[in-house]
């Protein structure tokens, strides 16, 4: 797990304390896109998508799910009384619910992270104290080690006075999770491929 993911989790724990979760009214994915994603991840034995694949699917969609997000998804969609050997999976309708709720646009992800950093900026001046951020990273959510916290804050480029202008750093964090690139479509060549050699 990267330091960006750990930091995202620690900061989002702060915002979750102050906001109630509203269901997302829209999805940035079309039903056809969700169906294709579902079909490509269904396992024959269960005829559903195993919950253990949800984290990877969300990451492939350019998301940054926290361990808490994944635990909440697994808790919500694992049937009661399932044997420990069985792998819980979700059908298409549940898969749609999960993606609709957890796939955020880049603007939504930016807004969520910005709100998390802004908690440390009560005067709304655009900078936060690196020491307070460090304390949070070491004590809240999926806690950082000293080394991880030091590296994370170094990436945020604080001033000599220990102040951190967080808006550019939030953009940097969002850019760490680029949107998925569409696959190249086109006819596959039936013949042997020929390597091009430089002249």
User: What pLDDT was estimated at residue 177?
Assistant: 63
User: In this predicted model, what pLDDT tens digit does every residue of 26-74 receive, in sequence order?
Assistant: 457 888 888 999 999 998 877 899 999 999 999 888 787 888 889 999 9
Report the range of poorest mean pLDDT among 31-45, 115-129, 178-192. 178-192
23-27: list long-range contacts, CB under 8 Å, 24+ apart.
Answer: 23/101, 24/100, 24/101, 26/100, 27/96, 27/99, 27/100, 27/103
Distances (CA, A) of 91 to 13, 54, 118, 175, 194: 29, 12, 38, 32, 43
User: What pLDDT was estimated at residue 184?
Assistant: 46
On whether the CB atoms of residues 42 and 176 are closer than 8 A, the answer is no
Q: Determine the Cα–Cα distance for residues 118 and 153; give it in Å rounded to an integer.
A: 16
User: What pLDDT was estimated at residue 178?
Assistant: 58
Of the candidates 9, 16, 3, the residue with the CA atom closest to the CA atom of residue 142: 9
- 48 vs 23 pLDDT, higher one: 48
What is the set of domains in the chain, with CATH numbers? 29-102 (1.10.238.10), 106-175 (1.10.238.10)
Of the candidates 108, 99, 102, 123, the residue with the CA atom closest to the CA atom of residue 170: 108
Phi, psi of 128 (to 5 degrees): -130, 165
């Amino acid at each position: 797990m990267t330091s960006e993911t750990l930091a995202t989790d620690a900061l989002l724990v702060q915002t979750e304390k102050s906001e109630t979760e509203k269901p997302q009214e829209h999805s940035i994915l079309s039903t056809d896109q969700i169906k294709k994603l579902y079909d490509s991840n269904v396992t024959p034995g269960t005829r559903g998508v195993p919950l253990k694949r949800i984290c990877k699917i969300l990451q492939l969609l350019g998301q940054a799910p926290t361990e808490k997000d994944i635990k909440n998804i697994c808790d919500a969609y694992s049937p009661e009384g399932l044997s420990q050997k069985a792998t819980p999976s979700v059908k298409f309708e549940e898969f749609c619910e999960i993606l609709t709720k957890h796939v955020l646009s880049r603007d939504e992800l930016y807004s969520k992270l910005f709100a998390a950093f802004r908690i440390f900026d009560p005067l709304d001046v655009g900078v936060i104290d690196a020491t307070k951020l460090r304390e949070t990273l070491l004590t809240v959510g999926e806690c950082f080690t000293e080394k991880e916290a030091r590296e994370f804050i170094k990436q945020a480029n604080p001033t000599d006075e220990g102040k951190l202008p967080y808006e550019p750093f939030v953009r940097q964090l969002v850019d760490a999770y680029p949107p998925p690139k569409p696959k190249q479509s086109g006819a596959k060549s039936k013949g042997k491929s020929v390597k091009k050699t430089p002249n």
